[in-house]
């Protein structure tokens, strides 16, 4: 499937997208070869889109140069078969514009823009922030509404205003307010994507067009089948498929999305490295619990990778370590 066939007016980024982890090597450096292998595996599993440089991709701990290199590598590997969406949102509008333009230059098919976090702007600031970034490139934009992390939600009236921008075409929702989402779906042309795996099926029931998933690292095929079943009116089959993924949700809940996905990929035979600090790798006990959960879900694991956490590393500081640590020492 080409990215053009996955993207339709109602589903501008496809149906099943995974928020891809960013592979690092043993020293915590960006591993582009493994990133390309991972992207290929994810598309082969059933994803018609990938989101890179998001929170699950540890975007807060990667440099601007690493972000561009990752987009370029993933587009080269799967850009002819899947939509590649680049996370470019920060709490700094000027920096977000820089990241958006760099992502466009690197070949991204779209942008994911999270609500500015920590600074808590008013709704008028959100309109100005998102509009300025959308104006800066020719790429379609998916807004990311996640007040549990950003504190500030994107209000209904704000979404209705932003929907008038020609390049703001979709919302990744991790707010879980089905009432607001239903009204936005009914009153705008914004495409809604579930951004929280436990509520993927409920979102489909009110008009969401697809998912941006973390569990798609291991069950994208089932997510695709669930959406197909729901679209065909086979609601019992959709519910059964949803229920079959509950142990995977339990596994993700033990350690959080990025750590779960990195652990799960290693257990599936592709070592994508440890997360960068402040995220620690899963402990031996957590790995054992995740193995049991994935077994319960019928997810195939690599026999040689079941025996516990990797021996190398306890989390890494990554490419910025020497510069940033030196700057902090100087500051003190």
Look up 91 and say whether it is catalytic: no
Look up 67 and say whether it is catalytic: no
Three-state SS sequence of 283-324: CHHHHHHHHHHHHHCCCCCCHHHCCCCCCCCCCECCCCHHHH
One of 144, 192, 224, 262 is an active-site residue; which one? 144
C-alpha closest to that of 81 among 50, 110, 102? 50
d(CA 200, CA 242): 8
C-alpha closest to that of 196 among 241, 237, 253? 253
d(CA 23, CA 37): 10
d(CA 270, CA 301): 10
Tokens 């595996």 locate to 41
> Does the annotation list 56 as a binding residue?
yes
One of 67, 172, 224, 262 is an active-site residue; which one? 172
Residue 183 Ramachandran class (φ > 0 left, ψ -120 to 50 alpha, else beta): alpha
Catalytic residues, by residue number, are 144, 172
Binding residues: 56, 212
Binding residues for pyruvate: 56, 212
């Amino acid at each position: 499937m080409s990215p053009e066939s996955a993207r339709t007016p109602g589903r501008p980024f496809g149906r099943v997208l995974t928020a891809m982890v960013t592979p690092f090597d043993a020293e915590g450096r960006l591993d582009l070869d493994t990133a390309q292998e991972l992207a290929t595996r994810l598309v082969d599993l059933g994803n018609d889109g990938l989101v890179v440089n998001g929170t699950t991709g540890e975007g807060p701990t990667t440099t601007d140069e690493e972000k561009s290199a990752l987009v370029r590598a993933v587009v080269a590997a799967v850009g002819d078969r899947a939509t590649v969406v680049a996370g470019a949102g920060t709490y700094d509008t000027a920096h977000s514009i820089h990241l958006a333009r760099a992502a466009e230059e690197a070949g991204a098919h779209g942008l994911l823009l999270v609500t500015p976090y920590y600074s808590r702007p008013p709704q008028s600031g959100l309109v100005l922030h998102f509009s300025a970034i959308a104006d800066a490139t020719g790429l379609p934009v998916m807004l990311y509404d996640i007040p549990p992390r950003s504190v500030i939600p994107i209000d209904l009236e704000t979404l209705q205003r932003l929907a008038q921008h020609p390049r703001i075409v979709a919302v990744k929702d991790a707010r879980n307010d089905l009432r607001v989402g239903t009204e936005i779906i009914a009153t705008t042309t914004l495409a809604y994507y579930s951004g929280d795996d436990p509520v993927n099926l409920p979102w489909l029931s009110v008009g969401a067009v697809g998912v941006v998933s973390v569990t798609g690292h291991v069950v994208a095929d089932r997510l695709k089948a669930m959406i197909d079943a729901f679209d065909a009116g086979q609601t019992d089959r959709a519910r059964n498929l949803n229920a079959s993924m509950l142990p995977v949700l339990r596994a993700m809940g033990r350690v959080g999305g990025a750590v779960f996905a990195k652990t799960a990929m290693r257990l599936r035979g592709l070592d994508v490295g440890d997360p960068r600090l402040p995220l620690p790798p899963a402990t031996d006990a957590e790995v054992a619990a995740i193995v049991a959960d994935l077994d319960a879900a019928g997810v195939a694991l690599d026999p040689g990778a079941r025996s516990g956490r990797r021996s190398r590393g306890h989390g890494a500081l990554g490419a910025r370590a020497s510069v940033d640590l030196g700057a902090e020492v100087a500051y003190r």
